[in-house]
Amino acid sequence: MIIVLFGPPGAGKGTQSAKLMEKFGIPALSTGDMFRAAIAAETPVGVEVKSVMEAGDLVNDELVNRLVFERLEDPDCQNGVILDGYPRTVAQAEALDVWLQNHHLKLDKVIELKVDDEALIERRAGRLYAPKSKKVYHKDFNPPKVAGICDESGEKLIQRDDDKPDVVRHRLDVYNQQTAPVLGYYLAQQRLVTLDGMANIEDVYQHILQLLGAK
């Protein structure tokens, strides 16, 4: 099973992919998490992408594709994968199709989570992130058991730099200009399904399971 979770920043992709990963026992591959880990570890990739990410712009297609394709070769991806935050440009979607074809694989579904801009901004403003466990919380909508602390790892939760107010709007513009065209690409392939991402976390999850025929 190869699924793409699609939507603007804050739509709930990471939240849902964590639940799906647990349910189906396949990895969730978040390109954003990969880059954040590279930045934290100060690897050459991390050094290259740091300023781009902080500004809320997209990392170049070639680098993203290379990292994703390397990761997809890992043994734990052989039974399937949930892609979160990739592809984010038509060029990435095209490159992914070529890679899949070369590996005799196909995308099962592209699931778009549709959320209106005001809700996205509210979600991003309250998002709390655990850099080590990569768990995502929201101060009101999905709070940790102890304020400011990750339930799983006990680490301190932080606000992502690119969730700070001055970057939030810019990332929405980047989504609308560079990422939204990918929807047309998958619509033409009849792989796109759009869900109401405004519902609460559990309802969105149940809806996705239904769609995947897992309920």
Query: Which residues carry out catalysis?
Result: 13, 88, 127, 160, 171
The interface with ligand ADP within residues 130-189 (CB under 6 A) comprises 136-138, 141-142
205 binds ligand ADP (CB under 6 A): no
Q: Where do we find the tokens 């290379």?
A: 66
Q: How many residues bind ligand AMP (CB under 6 A)?
A: 18
User: How far, rounded to the nearest angstrom, does the alpha carbon of residue 136 sit from its chain's CA centroid?
Assistant: 11
Q: For residues 50 and 123, what is the distance between their CA atoms, to the nearest angstrom? A: 23
Q: Which of 26, 28, 64, 115 binds ligand AMP (CB under 6 A)?
A: 64
By C-alpha distance, which of 82, 68, 85 is closest to 19? 82
* Amino acid found at 100: L
121 binds ligand AMP (CB under 6 A): no
CB of residue 30 vs ligand ADP: minimum separation in angstroms?
Answer: 7
CB of residue 213 vs ligand AMP: minimum separation in angstroms?
Answer: 27
**Interaction partner, residue 58 (ligand ADP, ligand AMP, none; CB < 5-8 Å by kind):** ligand AMP
128 binds ligand AMP (CB under 6 A): no
87 binds ligand ADP (CB under 6 A): no
Q: For residues 30 and 13, what is the distance between their CA atoms, to the nearest angstrom? A: 9
Q: Give the x/- contact pattern for ligand AMP in 129-158, rule: CB under 6 A.
A: ------------------------------
CB of residue 129 vs ligand AMP: minimum separation in angstroms?
Answer: 9
- Per DSSP (E only), the strands in the chain are 2-6, 28-30, 81-84, 109-114, 127-129, 136-138, 192-196
3-class secondary structure, 194: strand
Q: For residues 45 and 20, what is the distance between their CA atoms, to the nearest angstrom? A: 28
Q: Are 186 and 192 in contact (CB under 8 A)?
A: yes
The interface with ligand AMP within residues 14-53 (CB under 6 A) comprises 30-32, 35, 52-53
**Within a 10 A sphere around the Cβ of 156, how many other Cβ atoms?**
12
182 binds ligand AMP (CB under 6 A): no
CB of residue 215 vs ligand AMP: minimum separation in angstroms?
Answer: 27
Phi/psi at 73 (5° precision): -80, -15
Q: Tell me which residues touch ligand ADP (CB under 6 A).
A: 7, 9-15, 123, 126-127, 136-138, 141-142, 199-201, 204
